[in-house]
Amino acid sequence: MFGSIVVPIDLTAPSSWRYALPKAIELAAPGNGKVAVVAVLPELRLLFESVEATAELDRVAERARRQLAEIVAAADHGAADVQQELRSGSITHEIIGAAKARGADLIVMTSRRPEMRDYPIGANAAQVVRHAPCSVLVLR
């Protein structure tokens, strides 16, 4: 059905991938599509100049890579090719960049964190919907 799907996740919020990743795999499987699970770390390196801070940021990135790998490994891939990508920078900009770089047909993401019940759609999801180069499926 879809050849390339991007699933942006928040490594600190399991609700961002528990439903979105299986749904993306389900949508990609009929055509043996690719699913890219993308996590974005804020770009903090510019704020810190010390060697110790840079080393700590490298450790944070390595922990994030391991956590992302665990999430992808735990998913039932079915017939889909599930890949992972860790990016750094603005969340919205990096999600859209990943979709463009992969020629994505679809972005599948959750709408918001559960504790933000006052908003019908989260700020990042709203920005992605407005600026994405492809269709966006926002799940609740």
CA dist., res. 53 & res. 48, Å (int):
6
pLDDT of residue 49: 60
Which pLDDT belongs to residue 57? 78
Write down the pLDDT at residue 79.
79
* Confidence at residue 21, expressed as pLDDT on a 0 to 100 scale: 95
Check if the beta carbon of residue 10 is closer than 8 Å to that of residue 110: no
How many CB atoms lie under 10 A from the CB of residue 120? 12
Token couple for 36: 């890219």
What is residue 31's predicted lDDT score, i.e. its pLDDT? 83
pLDDT per residue rounded down to tens, the chain (140 residues): 789 999 999 999 898 899 999 999 999 988 889 999 999 988 765 555 655 666 777 888 899 999 999 999 999 888 789 999 999 989 999 999 999 999 999 999 998 655 555 455 677 888 899 999 999 999 97
Model pTM above 0.75: yes
**Phi-psi category of residue 67: left, alpha or beta, with phi > 0 → left and psi -120 to 50 → alpha:** alpha
Domains and CATH numbers, the chain: 4-139 (3.40.50.620)
Structure tokens at 82: 């599930």
